[in-house]
Structure formats: C-alpha cells, structure tokens
Structure 1
Amino acid sequence: MFDLDRFVEGCCQAVTEGEARQATRERLTLALEAPRAVLAALGEPDHAGVRTLYRSDELTILDVVWGPRMVLLPHDHRMWAVIGIYTGREDNILWQRVPDAPAGRIEARGATSIGAGEILPLGHDAIHSVINPLDRMTGALHVYGGDFFAQARSEWEPERLEERPYDLERNLRRFEESNRRLAAGP
C-alpha cells in the first residue's frame, strides 16, 4: 500500500543524502513497484492539473495529471527531476541547445516513453517536452530538487524553437484548456 506521507518524508530525507537525485529515484522506484497502489492512494484522475503535494526550497513534489493528447512545449527546470508514471503514459522529446545558435535555439536529441511503474530521471540542465499520447488521463509523480515554482527557467516557442522566459500561468492554462476539451466531448 502506498502511503503518501511516508513517501514525502522519504523524499525529504533523500535530499539530505549525498546524491539526492539518485536517492529520490530509488524511493520513487520503490513506490511505483505497485503503480495501482499509488493510483488508489491519489485517486483516479478525472481532470488535468497540477497538485502540489510538498513544497520547500530544497524539494517540490507534484501530482501531475495530463489530459488526453495533451502537449507541453519544450522547457527546462534548472534543477534535477525524477518523474514516475502511476497511470497512463508520457512521451518525452529530449532537447539540447545548439552551440553558437542565435536565441538559445534547441534541437531534438532523443525521445523516451514511460508508462505505469516507470521512471524518468532528468539532470539540472535537461530540456524536454511532454506528450500524453493516450485518449485518457496520465498521472505522474514529479519530484524536483528545489522550489519548482520559484525557479526562473526557460521554454521554447514551438515554431522556431527560440528560447523565452517560462510562463507558469500560460502552462497551467494548458491544463484548463485540456479540461475544457474533455468536457466538450468528441
């Protein structure tokens, strides 16, 4: 059985250990050995959104629910992250900066897909975009090595892949737009 309070406590302890990202990854991997237990504890997702489970200067834990076919543009975090899926699937395009390119341009360098019970660790300099390819909700635990909401970071506009300041409000609106599309039906 997944105990959210115990998980948060374990992650808080992990950030005090030598390799915080690895220690956090181990705790998330252990929790997601039974993704249905995590799903039962957090509840079946019924709308897209971001729910803060824990927040401090050293650590943020989020329950992120991606709406059907939802897309989040390339962005960075400027802190390490460990993402684990408890229901559904998340496709990630991994990006890298193009050396000496104007406007902080990026190019794709790979892709990965994670499903229920799987983990994606990201370094502090990672850039990725996220797609829920399914016609149903995808739920994920996101653990960040810092205050996710206070960190200045970047996102890239979709056509020219030019860097701009990350707009948290614009990205949160994407979740609401996903909910409106879902409510409107096919």
Structure 2
Amino acid sequence: MLDLDRFYADCRDAVAQDDSHKGVSEILSRVMRTPDAVIAALGEPQRAGVTSLYSSPGLLIDNVIWGPYMTIMPHDHRMWALIGVYSGREDNIFWRRLPPDGSHGIEAAGAESLCRGDCMPLGPDIIHSVTNPIPRFTGAIHIYGGDLLNQERSEWNPETLREHPFDVEKANRLFEESNRVYWPSY
C-alpha cells in the first residue's frame, strides 16, 4: 500500500529543493507505477469530486474523481501542475489563446489521453479541458505548485470559448451533477 504521509513528505521535500515540477514529477511517476497501491490507500473511485489530500502555500495535492462521461470546461491553473491517473482514463484537450481581435478567446491546440499509470506535467500557461470518456469513475492525483484554491484563474465558456474568471462553485456543481446522474438517490 502507498504510504500517503511519506508521499506528501517526499513531494514537500522535492518542492523545497526545487520549486519546479521536476522532482515532484519523478515522485508521482514512481507512485503511478503501482496504481493498485494508490487504490489501496485512497479507495476505489466511487463518487465524483475533488478531495484535498495535502495543502500548503507551495504545494497542493488533490484526489480528483471524474464521473462517467464527465467533462469540465477549458480552464487554466497559472502554476505548474501534474496529473497521475490511477484508475480509468482522462482525456485532455489543450487550448491556445488567440489574439484579442474580438473572435473566440481560444482554439484547440492538441490532446492527450492518460490511462491508468500515466503521468503528465502541465506548464503554468497551459489551458486544458478534461473529459472522462468511459462509463465508470476515473481517479487521478493532481498536484499543483502553489495554492490553487486562492489563485486567480480563468475558465472559458465551452460553447462561446469566451474567457471568464474561474468559478469554483460552478466546477463543484459539475461534479455534483455527475453524482446525481449516476447516483439518482444521492
């Protein structure tokens, strides 16, 4: 089983030595080599949501559970991030800003699918949207190089692709809506 306290301490030590994502990326990659150990420590994903596992001003570690077929709108983090999938699949669409000429604010620029055991870094300027394309829950550890909860961020309307301030409550509602679809008695 994964020793969560050791994992948090290793990540914290890596950031203390180098505030880039590099050291933490190595740690997360090592952890994702044994996804069953992550499931043993965190439990099998059964409900969509975000659970904060560790938080400090320079480091946030979340357990993100995507509901079946759930999608979250394009958004940024404005800090480095790492994603490690331990169950299911997470599809990321990457977006690039367009010149401010009155057209849409972003356009699709690439995509990457992460399967069980995969890890991926995101730079501080990355804009992405996330979809769980499978009919079961997907579990992933997301690590951020700062205090994401208090970071000014943006989201983009998925229909118009116009930029707006990131709305945490709206994002939380997307997770809750996913739970209501798959757990009607919830």
What TM-score, normalized to structure 2? 0.96
Residue matched to 1:157: 157
- Bigger mean CA deviation after superposition, 41-50 or 100-109: 100-109
Q: Hey, what does 1:119 align to over in structure 2? A: 119
1: distance between equivalents of 2:104 and 2:11? 33
Q: Work out whether residues 65 and 137 of structure 1, in 8 Å CA contact, stay in contact via their aligned partners in 2.
A: yes
| Residue matched to 1:57 | 57
Partner of 1:36: 36
How many Å apart are 1:158 and its aligned residue?
1.2
Q: Which residue of 1 aligns with 2:5?
A: 5
| Deviation per residue, 1:135-176 (Å, 9 max, x gap) | 000000000000110001000001110000000010011110
Identity, % of aligned pairs?
53
Gaps of 5+ in 1: none
Q: For residues 18 and 147 of structure 1, what CA distance do their matches in structure 2 show?
A: 17
| Conserved? CA contact 1:80–1:145, under 8 Å | yes
CA distance in 2: counterparts of 1:168 and 1:104, whole angstroms: 23
CA distance in 1, matches of 2:152, 2:74: 15
Query: Following the alignment from structure 2 to structure 1, what is the Cα–Cα distance between the partners of residues 138 and 171?
Result: 17
Deviation digits for residues 111-151 of structure 1 (CA, Å, limit 9, x no counterpart): 00001110110000000000000100000000000011000
Unaligned runs of 5+ in 2: none
The count of residues paired between Structure 1 and Structure 2 equals 185
> C-alpha distance in 2, partners of 1:175/1:15?
30
Offset at residue 103 of structure 1 (A): 7.3
Q: In angstroms, what is the RMSD of aligned CA positions?
A: 1.3
Asked whether the equivalents of residues 20 and 80 of structure 2 are also in contact (C-alpha less than 8 Å), the reply is no
